[in-house]
Chains A and B, each alone.
Chain A
Amino acid sequence: ILNVEQSPQSLHVQEGDSTNFTCSFPSSNFYALHWYRWETAKSPEALFVMTLNGDEKKKGRISATLNTKEGYSYLYIKGSQPEDSATYLCAPGGNAGGTSYGKLTFGQGTILTVHP
């Protein structure tokens, strides 16, 4: 089983604070890294899919970076808003060796609560 660690497990911040979470994954045989946002009573939705070392992606106030050599990714939220409250999931996708072609394995998630 692929070991995917997300930290912290939960986070409470005030509206306007900036915050970040970490996703750690095995760096060997890396293929892709996904970030998803899962709001209560909704389905998870993709934020980013990254494949290149040093990749940095941005969507509004949310951005993510990727380090495939050391096996981690950071997700940043600038100026958190109450609507950012959700569980944020990361998932390494597949592996370069081919034995897990197409497999998407999720971490346990970081639960973010933004207080008004």
Chain B
Amino acid sequence: DGGITQSPKYLFRKEGQNVTLSCEQNLNHDAMYWYRQDPGQGLRLIYYSQIVNDFQKGDIAEGYSVSREKKESFPLTVTSAQKNPTAFYLCASSILSGGDAEAFFGQGTRLTVV
């Protein structure tokens, strides 16, 4: 079955540590996205990538880093520089478009900093 897989579902991290969230898709999509959701807020865009080895900052990129070495994979690293990393993180993908292609989402990763 084609889809987009995020792992792990729940993640706990100690303050000051970097952590990497995995996102893999087998939909052959060129574009991939990372969003963050906080309670009472919508989805805020962290980073997005239209093609391998290229990515753009979204609206809240500070404290995060990404890589796009393979078409199928778009891992997100939450660094110790992120002031408030506890949140729900969603990954999405779509065919390459100017913005009119439907996005497909993973199940999300809930990150808690302890």
CB pair B48–A103 under 8 Å, yes or no, is: yes
Chain A residues positioned under 8 Å from B33 (CB to CB): 104
Which of these binds chain B: A60-68, A75-83, A93-101?
A93-101
Given the known interface contacts A102-B50, A106-B42, A108-B41, the answer about A1 and B59 at a Cβ–Cβ threshold of 8 Å is yes
B67 CB to closest chain A CB (Å) equals 18
On whether the beta carbons of A106 and B43 are closer than 8 Å, the reply is yes
* Residues in A whose Cβ lies below 8 Å from that of B107: 42-43
With contacts A101-B50, A106-B35 known, is A43 near B105, CB below 8 A?
A: yes
**Contact residues in B for A6 (Cβ distance below 8 Å):** 42
Q: Kindly provide the distance from the CB of B32 to the nearest chain A CB, expressed in whole angstroms.
A: 10
Q: Which residues of A contact B44 (CB under 8 A)?
A: 106
Q: Which of B90, B96, B99 contacts A44, CB < 8 Å?
A: B90
Q: Is the CB of A95 within 8 A of B99?
A: yes
- Partner of A104 from B96, B99, B106 at Cβ < 8 Å: B99
Q: Are B103 and A34 in contact (CB under 8 A)?
A: yes
In the complex, A94→B95 CA distance in Å?
A: 13
User: Interface readout for A2-39 with B: 1 if CB under 8 Å, 0 if not?
Assistant: 00101000000000000000000000000110101000
B42–A108 CB distance below 8 A: yes
Q: Which of A32, A42, A89 contacts B100 (CB 8 A)?
A: A32
Residues of B within 8 A of A34 (CB): 102-103
Contacts of A42 in B (CB 8 A): 107
Inter-chain contacts of A91 with B (CB < 8 A): 43
Complex interface: chain B residues within 8 A of A98 (CB)? 98
Q: Does B85 contact A (CB under 8 A)?
A: no
- Taking a contact as CB atoms under 8 Å apart, the answer to whether B45 and A104 are in contact is yes
5 contacts between A and B (CB under 8 A): A32-B100, A34-B103, A102-B98, A106-B42, A106-B43
- Residues of A at under 8 Å CB distance from B? 1, 4, 6, 31-32, 34, 36, 42-46, 49, 51, 89, 91-95, 98, 100-109
Across the A-B interface, give the 9 residue pairs with the lowest CB-CB distance, nearest first. A94-B99, A93-B99, A108-B42, A32-B100, A43-B105, A106-B43, A46-B102, A94-B98, A31-B99
